[in-house]
């Protein structure tokens, strides 16, 4: 374990003497003037899925919201903790981003847990199961699809379907829906395949995912 943290500390020193020095002017500009990204992205916490790496982006280019399985909950005012909803409101109303991307990915542990219910059963807590219930509609859809013959087929289909659900849920927020209808905000659904590096996008005309 100590070797792992030492590797990160060594990486920080390389960053400080390398990348930071090479990009000092831009980083100082961001510090002085604040951030003004045009794109916000809802991505998974998965350590293999880094939106900045996948899109070859620089600091200040995108506002990233990460949670388990890159889910967007529907609008609801009850309760006290709304981390993803608060981040979305800041991105849309505060930063006034022009594009909002929901990016799912292959081999998603959250979607696997949704299909297998393994997390709640093994660990005896409700946090993951409760959060993943946002995608219950996707689960029911794939479980009743007779064309999906294997678990891997159902997993892949559920990963894609959950992106569509999050896109629908985004439209339940009045301040997102209004900007979309006014043409001031565009919603996108992306799917990253860890194995191939390919990114698919949700095509609304065909209601299917196609290569980006």
- The residue ranges of every structural domain in the chain are 1-34, 35-211
User: For 35-211, which CATH superfamily applies?
Assistant: Carbonic anhydrase (3.40.1050.10)
Distances (CA, A) of 127 to 66, 113, 133, 195: 16, 12, 10, 29
Strand partners, 192: 105, 199
Q: What is the pLDDT of residue 126?
A: 80
The rounded distance, in Å, linking the Cα atoms of 138 and 118 is: 17
Record the pTM.
0.92
Predicted confidence pLDDT, tens digits, the chain (212 residues): 568 899 999 999 999 999 999 999 999 999 999 999 999 999 999 999 999 999 999 999 999 999 999 999 999 988 777 999 999 999 999 999 999 999 999 999 999 999 987 444 555 668 888 899 999 999 999 999 999 999 999 999 999 999 999 999 999 999 999 999 999 999 999 999 999 999 999 999 999 999 99
The rounded distance, in Å, linking the Cα atoms of 60 and 131 is: 29
The alpha carbon of 111 is separated from its chain's Cα centroid by a whole number of angstroms, namely: 13
Per the structure block, which two tokens stand in for 22?
Answer: 């090479």
Q: What is the pLDDT of residue 127?
A: 87
């Amino acid at each position: 374990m100590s070797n792992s943290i030492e590797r990160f500390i060594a990486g920080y020193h390389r960053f400080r003497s390398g990348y930071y020095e090479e990009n000092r002017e831009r980083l100082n500009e961001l510090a002085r003037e604040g951030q003004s990204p045009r794109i916000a992205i809802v991505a998974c916490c998965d350590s293999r899925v880094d939106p900045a790496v996948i899109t070859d982006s620089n600091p200040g280019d995108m506002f990233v919201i990460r949670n388990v399985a890159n889910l967007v909950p529907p609008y609801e005012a009850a309760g006290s903790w709304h981390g993803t909803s608060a981040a979305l409101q800041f991105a849309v109303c505060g930063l006034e981003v022009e594009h909002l991307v929901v990016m799912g990915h292959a081999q998603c542990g959250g979607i696997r847990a949704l299909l297998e219910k393994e997390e709640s059963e093994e660990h005896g807590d409700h946090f993951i199961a409760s959060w993943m219930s946002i995608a219950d509609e996707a689960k029911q859809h794939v479980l009743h699809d007779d064309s999906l013959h294997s678990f891997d087929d159902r997993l892949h289909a559920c990963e894609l379907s959950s992106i569509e659900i999050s896109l629908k849920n985004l439209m339940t927020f009045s301040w997102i829906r209004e900007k979309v209808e006014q043409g001031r905000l565009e919603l996108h659904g992306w799917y990253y395949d860890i194995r191939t590096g390919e990114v698919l996008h949700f095509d609304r005309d065909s209601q299917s995912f196609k290569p980006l």
